[in-house]
Amino acid sequence: MRPNKQKTESKKRTDAPWCVQINKTELKNVRTHPGASNYDNHIYPMNYIDSIKNKILDGTDITEAEAYALLEHLPQSSREIREAAAEITAALCSRTFDSCSIVNARSGLCSENCKWCAQSKFHATDCETYDLIDHDECMAAARENRDKGVRRFSLVASGRAVKGKALNNMCDLLREVKETTGISTCASLGLLDHDDLQQLWDAGVRRYHCNLETAPSHFSGLCTTHTIEDKMKTIRAAREIGFEVCSGGIIGMGETMRQRVEFALKLREVEPQSIPINILSPIPGTPLEHQEDISEDDILDTVALFRFIHPRIQLRFAGGRKRLSRQAQLTALRIGINGGIVGDLLTTLGASIAEDKSLVSDAGYKF
């Protein structure tokens, strides 16, 4: 007697190497792609990545469900995701590298308890402390950056918010920088309200920086003295006045890759012109001093996912990138990064402007 024929038609195929199982509820808005397996309408072949890429290139943003679905292809299809991100970057982003230099205008003794930060008064670090940067030092830094071709100059200050006389002094510095050097000015002065931000606007500042830092589901485990909603309130006030917004955060603080996608999606609500991507540099004395470094592959996959979710926004390498190999930095520039914070950073060292110019040029960008 002949053996019974296996009824493969009725069996869901989840073990095929060329497809992934997608949750039906999560992907209810994902369109059915040509070539999908006949075994199950929610099993998609590897051309899912190309389909999502083409949707973006056609001018449509991907849905949250589609963004999370890309995670199903990592790490086995990292190369394909990165190549797709490179195509998106080449097609939709400027080849002019947006450079920004930051100056730590007030340092240390911060009232907030962010676990990653050397400037918090809650942590025993060797962070230098001072109330306001010296006037001549600030002006010299602005002139030097302008002369080296840096496009933006930002004052960054520790603390929950810069208020009163301190804010007046910061505004005076920023006004003078813009009037005497012509360089575009930015500021990162904490959780300011509408009136504070208006004062900065009147001083000629046109871009405000306020990082969300990480995914909402992860933030409360890293900071309890303020919330992401506090940050969103400041960002909304800046938008109402007319500021461009620069907002990103730090990867490598113990979050999952899914939380990085959550973070990137939350940033859509910000509608930023620029997203700084910092890589945690564990600092002795902070609660994250023993946090294990994430790999170069993790970093590159994260950059690629951010480019899928923010196809036209400036993705800006910031702190922590110095530990990456030159090849990894070149790859990051190809698959998504098209801006950077150059020179030394707040409490960690960056690359020199000359090094950055060489790197950017080799990646095919104009500095």
Residue 84 lies in a domain: no
Verify that 37 and 142 share a domain, yes or no. no
Please indicate, yes or no, whether residues 139 and 214 belong to a single structural domain of this protein: yes
d(CA 60, CA 307): 13
pLDDT of residue 344: 56
Secondary structure class of 154 (helix, strand, coil) = strand
Residue 343 has a pLDDT of 72
In a domain, 115, yes or no: yes
**Are 126 and 229 part of one and the same domain?**
yes
Q: Is the pLDDT of residue 267 over 90?
A: yes
- When pLDDT is cut at 50, 70 and 90, the band that residue 293 belongs to is very high
Whether residues 48 and 103 fall in one domain: no
Give the residue-averaged pLDDT of 269-287.
Answer: 97
CATH code of the domain in which 214 resides: 3.20.20.70
Asked if residue 313 belongs to a domain, the reply is yes
Check whether residue 323 and residue 288 sit in a common domain. yes
- What's the pLDDT tens digit per position in 198-237? 999 999 999 999 999 999 999 999 999 999 999 999 999 9
Same domain flag for 45 and 189: no
Q: Give me 40's structure tokens.
A: 């199950």
- Residue 186 forms part of a structural domain: yes
Is residue 287 located within the same domain as residue 141?
yes
The Cβ of residue 4 has, within 10 Å, a number of other Cβ atoms equal to: 6
Taking 60 as the threshold, does the pLDDT of residue 36 lie above it? no
Question: Looking at residues 84-108, what average pLDDT do you find?
Answer: 96
Name every residue whose Cβ is closer than 8 Å to that of residue 67 and which is 6 or more positions away in sequence.
261, 264, 265, 305, 308, 309
Q: Are residues 104 and 51 in the same domain?
A: no
What is d(CA 366, CA 359) in angstroms, rounded to the nearest whole number?
11
Inside any domain, residue 82: no
Radius of gyration of the chain (CA): 23
User: Same structural domain for residues 21 and 112?
Assistant: no
- Give a yes or no: residue 108 inside a domain: yes
Given this model, what pLDDT does residue 354 score? Answer: 87
Q: Is residue 13's pLDDT more than 90?
A: no
Percentage of residues of the chain with pLDDT beyond 90? 83
pLDDT of residue 21: 41
Number of domains in the chain: 2
> Are 46 and 113 contained in the same domain?
no
Verify that 59 and 116 share a domain, yes or no. Answer: no
Contact assessment for residue 336 and residue 85, using Cβ atoms and an 8 Å cutoff? yes
Mean pLDDT of the chain: 88
Instruction: Write out pLDDT tens, residues 298-344.
Output: 999 999 999 999 999 999 999 999 899 999 999 999 999 999 998 75
Q: Is 88 exposed, middle or buried (0-12, 13-18, 19+ CB in 10 A)?
A: buried
Name the residue with higher pLDDT: 48 or 45.
48
Task: Return the percentage of the chain with pLDDT > 70, whole number.
Answer: 85
Shared domain for 138 and 258, answered yes or no, is: yes
Q: Is residue 180 part of a domain?
A: yes
Is 89 within a domain?
no
Residue with tokens 């394909």: 80
Task: Examine the pLDDT at 286 and tell me if it is beyond 70.
Answer: yes
pLDDT at 353: 87
Q: Is the pLDDT of residue 276 over 90?
A: yes
Structural domain including 252 reads 98-362
